[in-house]
Structure 1
Amino acid sequence: MLRSKLNSTVVVPGSMKVTVGPPGTQAEAGHAVPRTGHCVFTSGQLVGPCGQTVCRAGHAVVFAGHAVGRSAGHFVTCSGQTVVSRGHSVACAGHRVCRAGQVVATNGQCVVCAGHLVVFRGHCVATVAGHAVSRTGHCVR
């Protein structure tokens, strides 16, 4: 619960109403609001201006429109794209990680092994390292 003057309320989807205080508001000992429009509401959790949530203490909003999701180390973009494993990132617009280390392109092509990256738009590295899969499903060895 916030300990200073309150100025607005945010409804976090699937969660509770969150009262937002000014930058620097202390929610619990040692926790502070990192920047304008963000608040700490329980045990170091951060809420972004659009209701995105950082659930674990110590996690922070990564950059505008992005936040750490419900599980430790998970990143969720404002459009709902998800990076599941800590340390992985969204490769480019329209791509996401669906399970640990797997990258899924906008057309559903998937990189199965952790550490593989989308090579270029519409193409991705297949299950075998160094192989690329085209939009039509053909494999470049």
Structure 2
Amino acid sequence: MTIDWSAFTPISALAGGVLIGVATALLLALNGRIAGISGILGGLIDRTPGETGWRLAFTLGLLLGPAAWLLFAALPAIEIRADYPMLVAAGLLVGIGTRYGSGCTSGHGVCGLSRLSPRSLVATLMFMGAGFATVFVVRHLLGA
């Protein structure tokens, strides 16, 4: 195994992790809400009275974050090696998984684990296991 030292960025990764941790802690402390993206977006669709403002602000922050980054640096190049049907299928599978799992990786992996939730531990292990298995099948068994 070799490390691509030009792509090895532990300082920015640590800073990003700290920012995510602080943001989720503040949302929980100040609003009493969990920063799970699927739940936040789902709440925008359901339109619960009194819940729209903070959910919209959170979602806009996710969308405007990369735009703000462009003020200081270039975004990394994005290369997607899949066609549109594959992307649509993957998106639908992720959506179905978040409904069955009662949350997404951000809700369970970041917020649930920090609260020592056993359900979130199981969900995160399942997310990671499914990801590992998918990469193994696609790269080693299908030869992609």
- TM interval, shorter chain, is under 0.3
**Larger of the two Rg values belongs to structure:** 1
Structure with the larger helix share? 2
Using the size of structure 1 for normalisation, the TM-score is 0.19
Using the size of structure 2 for normalisation, the TM-score is 0.19
Q: Which has the higher contact order (CA 8 A, sep 6+)?
A: 2
